[in-house]
Structures are given as structure tokens and as C-alpha cells.
Structure 1
Amino acid sequence: MTKLTLAVTTVLMLGSCAESPTGRPQLMLFDNTQVNKMGIQTFEELKTKTPISKDKKTNQYVQCVAQAVLKVTPQKYQTNPWEIVVFESDQVNAFALPGGKIGVYTGLLLVAENQHQLAAVIGHEIAHVMAGHSNERLSSNQAISTTLGVADVALAAMNTQYKAELSSAFGLGAQVGLVLPFSRVHETEADVIGLDLMAKAGFEPEQSVALWQNMAKQGSGGTPQILSSHPVPENRIKKLQKDMPSALAAYQARQAQGGLPRCNK
């Protein structure tokens, strides 16, 4: 069973290897055009289910910050205009989807206290798209599903009274050992890329730490990191602080050019 599972996993891993913007090896099994279509479809469905803010000043503010960050992304992400929508919701969240879509919930604007903190969130979300995390997550889920399917077949052939327990253990092991850490890798990588984006766009990178301190106050903080899909705020802040010197250098270089973003909340 182990040999068969490893064989299937190896085939999947060799299927389409790529590299993230930070140099991390990635498994990409899906065509990016297909993933973009999925992102666009998801966004259109969300617009039919969630009220869209009509407040002119709020929309101008979010557009100002998002466009400033988008201007420093690689050229291929600037070929087509992004659709940026503000959703009326108490959710403290934002997202970016493949296909050039950005959503910001009004609840986030109560926690992100200024343009710099909002840029930290938007930069983080755009980073997910730049790093192909949606494709990678879909590919990872496909690989895990295939491997667990092979394991179930092998368990079915075993003469043991513990088939059900073993099958459940395989599923839990994949969730805790692969899926959740994999998501935390994505979040940390998006933090790193997003910090660089906001600094190059002319937003104060130190404000990213203040943002996550604000975020920490919103959550219970009771979930152990090993069982969380996101890094705990303390670890997130430590990583941001570690990368702060290079971000400050990028911000100072941008500051020397003049014309820093002035997006009024």
C-alpha cells in the first residue's frame, strides 16, 4: 500500500512542477486560463449574493489603495484592468481572485485604520494571485484525493478489523499534516510578497504589524497553530518584523521618488 501510494504521489508531483515568486517549488496541475474562469465565476456569484456598497467616498478610497498596489505588480497583472468591489458586510476580510478580481468588505475598514493598513491587506490578497495559490490548492487537493483513494482501495483488501479506523486516520493525517500547513505556507508567503508590494507602492510597511495587532484583537486566539489554516498573529508579526529591513529600504526608495499615495479614508 505504501509503495502504491508513493508511486501515485510521485506521478502527480512530477506532473507539473512550478516555482512561486519566493522560489518555493509548487505543484500546478490546472491550466491558468481554467483557474481564471473559476475565479471570475466565483466573483460574479458573490456579487449576486452580497450587497455592494454604493458609498462614493468608500469606493474611491478602496480604489485608490488597490490601484496604487496594482501599479507595482509585474506587468502581466496590469495588462487587463482589475475589477474592485466593496461589499457591504461586517466581515473583517478582503480577497483577490484569479481573473483580476478584488473584493473588500466594509467590516475590514473598521479594523484597517488607515491607507497603509488597508494596503497591507490588499497587497497580501494580490500576492495570493501572483503566487498561484488557487491553482496550487486545487492541485494539492487533487493529489491528496487521489492518494487517499488509492489508500482506501488498499485498505479494502486488507484483512483487518481496523479498516474504518485506519481510513479515518489517513484522512485526519492528510488534513493536519498536509492541508492545514499547506495553507499556512500560502499565508506566510502572501505576507512576504504583500509586504514588498505595499512598500514599493509607497505605503508604510511598519503599518502591516499594526494591522495584524488589530486583527489579533478581533479573534479569540484559542486555536492552536497546528490546527489552524492561518499562522497565529504572533508568528505572523515576527515574520513581518524579520522582513521589515528590506521592506523599509523599498519604501524609502519609493519615498525618494515623491508622489506617495494619499488615499483618504
Structure 2
Amino acid sequence: MPIKLERKHAFPIALVPLMLAVGFILFKLFTASKVTNPETGRTHRIGLNPEQEQKLGLEAYAQVRHDEASKLVQSGSEVELVKLVTAKLAKAAARKGDIHYDWEVSVIRSAEVNAFCLPGGKIVVYTGILPVTQHAAGLATVLGHEMAHATSRHGAERLFRTEITQTLLGGVQGSLAQMDPVKRQAIMAALGAGTKYGNTLPFSREQESEADHIGLLYMARAGYDPQEAVAFWQRMDAQRRKGSTPEYLSDHPSHSTRIGQIEKWMPEAQKEFVQYNHAPAA
């Protein structure tokens, strides 16, 4: 009776790239630095140390200021308002965290309704958002959120998770190298879509919600009525309602979700407001 020899090594060899990727991921998970958010207690892994974060933030900030040099607003009531609100929020953030950022703000004359805070505390505010914020408390809603991204080290966390995801997908692709190219492309496209809508976007929305939560505490602690955060997002909802992207396709929560979450956190924010203040800030 003839003996049938099995190709015992063909299947394991094909899995080598995936196994190597998993090994690298486990190593990164074991060795990566972990930080605990002083406001929420959430612990997460990061892909950069503070010095690396600040270096990247400074480089990006310098590039923005270079690109927008002709639009930088150097003085005036808008700049004074932004700096005042930022200073109060910075003090509020430092009350419950070991935060020693060199906060710096640039105001850019633009119709763009936007503001952001880079790692290390470099803030950019476009004047187009000021008519929506309307006043200091509305601006504190925006800046508190953006500053919370920086103090929570969300950028370093995103970098870590992106590296893990790309390593895993690379391992899968390597293990499918001998497959028919059309089938391999279809599988990788499906995995990419699943990763985006099942992991990347939901995670981004979680970070946005965490920044909303912490920013609400910052503004309350700084003396701004946290109820104004609800009013601000209602104004944003009214402005951007047309043609808005469904939440599950977006990296940000919908405005209605944000408002609902803020209302849920409001009792906590009101306690912060009462504890640290006797009257609303101007």
C-alpha cells in the first residue's frame, strides 16, 4: 500500500509573517509605557515619550505659523480673549494633574471654524470659530476640549494603536503572499474596512468623548458655567446639520451624542464649578 507523504510544513511556513507580527505586537504591549489619566482614571499605552511629543508638537506648530504667517493676528480683543481663557484653563488642568506644559496660542484670521492643540500645549485658534463660541464660556468649551487632547496624550496613544494595527495587517498580508492576487486584495480590503469602521473610528470617537468630558471639567474648574458647553454644541449642530456625516462613518461623535454625554457629566462638572469658584468668570 503506497504511503502518502503530507506537506506538513507548507501551512506553518505561510503563517510565519503573521506569527512574527503577533510576536512583535505582544512585545510592544509588554514594553510600551503606560499612563493613567488623572481626570478619568483610564490607563492606556503610548508610543512616544514626553520629549518626543513636545518635539513633534513644536515642529508642527512652527510649520503652521510659517504657512499662515500673513494671517497671524498679533494683538487685539480676539487675541486677548483667547489668551485669557487659555491661561485660566491651564491653571484648572494643573490642579489635578502633573502638567507642566509651556502653553502658547496663535490666532489666525480665517473663516475656518476650527481650533486645535498640538502635543506639548501649542494651540491654534481660527477666528472663524469665534462667532460660534460667542463668548468666553463658549470659547472655554472649545479650548478645554482641545487642551484635554494634549494633557491626555491622545496623539501618542493613537500612534501606538496605529503601529499595532499596521503591524497586524502587514502580518496578514505577508501570510497571504501565495494567494491569488485578486482574492488577497479582496481579503485585505475587507480587513481594512473592518479595522476602520470597527476599531479606528470608534476609538477616535472615544478619545473625542474623553476630551469633551475632561474639557468640561476644565472649564467648570476655571470658573466657566459648564451649561454653556451644551449651548455651544447646539449652535454647532445648527450650523453643520446639513450634509453631516453619519456618526458611524465619522471620527467624531455626532453633536446630539456629544450633548447627551455632556448632560450626563453635568452633575460632576457642576460640583467642580462650585468647589473651585464662587461666581462665574467673566
> Do the structures match in fold with TM over 0.5?
yes
**What is the RMSD computed on CA atoms of the aligned residues?**
2.0
Post-superposition Cα deviations, 1:215-245, rounded to whole Å, max 9, x if no partner, equal 1122235322111100001111000000101
Give the direction of change, closer, same or farther, for the CA distance of 1:161–1:108 in structure 2 (3 Å limit). Answer: closer
Structure 1's consecutive aligned runs of 4 or more residues displaced over 4 angstroms after TM superposition are 5-8
Take 2:272 and 2:211, find their aligned partners in 1: how far apart are those partners? Answer: 17
Q: 2:215 aligns with which of 194, 197, 206?
A: 194
Comparing 131-140 with 153-162, greater Cα deviation is found at 153-162
Q: Is the 8 A contact 1:18 1:28 kept in 2?
A: yes
Post-superposition Cα deviations, 1:193-229, rounded to whole Å, max 9, x if no partner, equal 0000000000000000011111112223532211110
2:266 aligned with 1:244:
yes
Post-superposition Cα deviations, 1:52-95, rounded to whole Å, max 9, x if no partner, equal 11341111111111111111122643x45411111111111111
The aligned residue for residue 9 of structure 1 is: 25
Q: 1:27 aligns with which of 41, 45, 68?
A: 45
2:35 aligned with 1:18:
yes
2:119 aligned with 1:98:
yes
Take 2:131 and 2:172, find their aligned partners in 1: how far apart are those partners? Answer: 47
Take 2:185 and 2:84, find their aligned partners in 1: how far apart are those partners? Answer: 54
Take 2:277 and 2:60, find their aligned partners in 1: how far apart are those partners? Answer: 37
2:59 aligned with 1:41:
yes
Gaps of 5+ in 1: none
1:68-79 maps to which residues of 2 (within 5 A)?
A: 68-74=88-94, 76-77=98-99, 79=100
1:145-160 maps to which residues of 2 (within 5 A)?
A: 145-158=166-179
* Aligned pairs, number: 259
Deviation at 1:35, TM superposition (A): 1.3
Take 1:37 and 1:103, find their aligned partners in 2: how far apart are those partners? Answer: 17
Comparing 60-69 with 158-167, greater Cα deviation is found at 158-167
Take 2:266 and 2:229, find their aligned partners in 1: how far apart are those partners? Answer: 10
SS at match of 1:92: coil
Gaps of 5+ in 2: 1-14
Q: 1:66 aligns with which of 74, 86, 110?
A: 86
2:261 partner amino acid: K
The aligned residue for residue 10 of structure 2 is: none
Q: 2:224 aligns with which of 203, 216, 219?
A: 203
Deviation at 1:10, TM superposition (A): 3.1
Q: Is the 8 A contact 2:18 2:175 kept in 1?
A: no
Q: Is the 8 A contact 1:68 1:261 kept in 2?
A: no
SS at match of 1:72: helix
SS at match of 2:244: coil
TM-score, reference length from structure 2: 0.85
Q: Is the 8 A contact 2:111 2:126 kept in 1?
A: yes
The aligned residue for residue 8 of structure 2 is: none
Take 2:221 and 2:125, find their aligned partners in 1: how far apart are those partners? Answer: 21
How much identity, in percent, do the aligned residues show?
A: 34
